[in-house]
Copies of this chain bind each other. A is one copy, B any other.
């Protein structure tokens, strides 16, 4: 059984939204069955799969994506360490998209049989797992709303989102974080061509809002960036509520 500290980041994310009892923490930890590693570029699950377990990424970045008929890849979400990448397959059963590793990843696996049993005994914890899938949904909605705006808004919005989501883990230090994405992948996520991503990055660079060297993003002017992106973190639901 995986060491329990591996799921600490996920538990912290839950506890930002509501309080957990000791019994709930233990019940959840007891659902973890195994671990594995995936190299950058590998698929964790594929469209069409019927997973029998859900995966929590403890290290590395992943994307939800689909390859379209004309050979293009469209990325629909980015997951950071401490996120479940396919918790929804517990309920939906059938994968309507794939999940791929952006960097080398370490994951902990939770068999659906155990999670289903959990939903019978822990209604409150069930609502919190439901919550986490709804936050994913909320992020999708936000991306949709952002898709209407221009490329610079969209790109800076993505930086804002990742900054806030990583800030609740220990992966932002001194306004800097690692983001293992190429400009091509960024384009796939924003629905833009790689060339236009490059153009847009140049433009944003000239506005001194952030830097992006190698894989390191550094926020220079958070308020300016937020304004540029029209970023309002409400949709991340980073608020503790009795649920």
A-side residues, CB < 8 A to B, are 64, 66, 68-69, 72, 74, 76-77, 88, 91-94, 96-97, 116, 119-120, 123, 126-127, 130-131, 133-138, 140-145, 147-149, 191, 230, 234-235, 237, 239, 241, 243
CA A234 to CA B49, docked complex, whole Å: 12
Whether B76 lies near A131 (C-beta < 8 A) is: no
CA A140 to CA B135, docked complex, whole Å: 12
Answer whether A145 and B94 are a contact pair too, CB < 8 Å, given A119-B127, A137-B133.
no
Answer whether A91 and B144 are a contact pair too, CB < 8 Å, given A120-B123, A136-B137.
no
Whether A134 lies near B131 (C-beta < 8 A) is: no
The secondary structure that dominates the A interface is helix
Given the complex, which residues of B lie within 8 Å of A137, measured CB to CB?
Answer: 88, 133-134, 136-137, 140
Answer whether A131 and B74 are a contact pair too, CB < 8 Å, given A119-B126, A138-B96, A145-B68.
no
CA A131 to CA B88, docked complex, whole Å: 8
Given the complex, which residues of B lie within 8 Å of A91, measured CB to CB?
Answer: 127, 130-131, 134, 243
CA A234 to CA B197, docked complex, whole Å: 31
What is the copy number of this chain in the assembly? 2
Closest residue on chain B to residue A137 by CB atoms: B137
Whether B134 lies near A94 (C-beta < 8 A) is: no
Residue contacts A-B, CB under 8 angstroms, 29 given: A68-B149, A68-B230, A76-B145, A88-B137, A91-B127, A91-B130, A91-B131, A91-B134, A91-B243, A92-B135, A92-B237, A93-B237, A94-B234, A96-B138, A96-B141, A96-B142, A96-B234, A96-B237, A97-B145, A119-B126, A119-B127, A123-B126, A126-B130, A133-B133, A133-B134, A140-B140, A140-B141, A147-B191, A148-B191
Given the complex, which residues of B lie within 8 Å of A143, measured CB to CB?
Answer: 144
Given the complex, which residues of B lie within 8 Å of A93, measured CB to CB?
Answer: 237, 241, 243
* A136 CB, nearest partner CB in chain B, Å: 6
Whether B237 lies near A148 (C-beta < 8 A) is: no
